[in-house]
């Protein structure tokens, strides 16, 4: 329910999920506008491009919400606390943006101040902002995010989804709120920034990216068995080739010794 509206008794509301469903095949790879100006909860203006150069997890919310939006932010904070491979701030960033044109720097600050929303330790790498020119629909349309106001519910109907952006600002992955966990976040970050997040883990990240695929039907990462079999065959072949070369070298050395005795 929006804080901008008068509270009324809740009414049963049925929403066709297809109305707010994201057309992922269409928007995966879409590029966001780097020059979009945002204002954060401290009143500072910045461009979306200022956050890029690293993967960005973007969460669209509205700050008058007293339901799923604060819950999604709090749940993301909880899950990110369990992400050990990558560091919030140095390795990736998080951006919460309001899709309610009535929101402002003040409502963003009030939303952020809600108990349990985002721990203070995470706020250097996580910004809550509004679109400065109030063209929230244009901003959301870039990533295929749909929303609408329901008079019956006195609230916005919208998907609860994390949008992963590459360091160049392209949509790499959508992860829905009900499927949020630390392992999925780590794999999505690897998808968003193939072996550039931590150079020391580049080989591991490449193998991880090859061994896991995103299952759109189940909405989660699953082992890529074909890739695993292929990698296993490749590794076995390399091992056999190395053993063969070592055997050949050993026999050649023995034969050379025999010639000199």
- Strand positions, DSSP E, the chain: 37-40, 45-47, 56-61, 93-98, 126-131, 148-150, 155-157, 161-165, 171-176, 212-215, 220-223
Q: Is residue 158 part of a domain?
A: yes
The reported pLDDT for the residue numbered 66 is: 84
Range of the domain at 143: 17-223
Question: Which residue, among 155, 187, 219, 238, has the nearest Cα to 22 in the 3D structure?
Answer: 219
Question: Which residue, among 6, 150, 2, has the nearest Cα to 62 in the 3D structure?
Answer: 2
**186 and 253 assigned to the same domain:** no
The reported pLDDT for the residue numbered 237 is: 55
Q: Is residue 6 part of a domain?
A: no
**99 and 228 assigned to the same domain:** no
**202 and 253 assigned to the same domain:** no
Question: Which residue, among 42, 215, 33, 197, has the nearest Cα to 128 in the 3D structure?
Answer: 42
**159 and 256 assigned to the same domain:** no
Backbone angles phi, psi at 59, to 5 degrees: -125, 115
Rounded Cα–Cα distance for residues 75 and 7 (Å): 26
Q: Is residue 8 part of a domain?
A: no
**215 and 91 assigned to the same domain:** yes
Which residue stretches of the chain have pLDDT < 50? 1-13, 195-217, 219-222, 224-228, 230-231, 234
- Residues 126-148: pLDDT tens digits? 999 999 999 999 999 999 999 98
The reported pLDDT for the residue numbered 15 is: 55
3-state secondary structure of 254: helix
CATH number of the domain encompassing residue 95? 3.40.30.10
**253 and 146 assigned to the same domain:** no
């Amino acid at each position: 329910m929006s804080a901008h509206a008068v509270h009324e008794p809740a009414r049963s509301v049925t929403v066709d999920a297809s109305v707010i469903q994201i057309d992922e095949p269409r928007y995966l790879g879409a590029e966001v506008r780097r020059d979009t100006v945002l204002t954060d909860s401290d009143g500072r203006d910045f461009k979306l491009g200022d956050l890029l150069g690293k993967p960005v997890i973007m969460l669209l919310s509205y700050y008058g919400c007293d339901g799923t939006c604060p819950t999604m932010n709090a749940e993301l904070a909880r899950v990110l606390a369990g992400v050990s491979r990558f560091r919030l701030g140095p390795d990736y960033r998080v951006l919460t943006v309001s899709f309610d044109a009535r929101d402002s720097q003040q409502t963003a600050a009030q939303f952020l101040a809600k108990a349990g929303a985002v721990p203070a330790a995470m706020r250097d790498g996580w910004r809550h902002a509004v679109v400065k020119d109030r063209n929230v629909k244009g901003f959301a349309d870039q990533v295929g995010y749909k929303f609408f106001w329901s008079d019956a519910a006195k609230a916005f109907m919208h998907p609860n989804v994390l949008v992963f952006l590459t360091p160049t600002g392209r949509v790499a992955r959508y992860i829905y709120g009900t499927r949020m966990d630390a392992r999925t976040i780590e794999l999505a970050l690897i998808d968003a920034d193939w072996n550039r997040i931590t150079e020391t883990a580049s080989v591991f990240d490449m193998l991880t990216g090859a061994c896991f695929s995103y299952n759109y039907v189940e909405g989660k990462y699953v082992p890529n068995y074909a890739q695993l079999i292929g990698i296993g065959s490749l590794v076995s072949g390399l091992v056999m080739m190395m053993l063969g070369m070592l055997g050949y070298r050993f026999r050649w050395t023995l034969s050379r010794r025999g010639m000199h005795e």
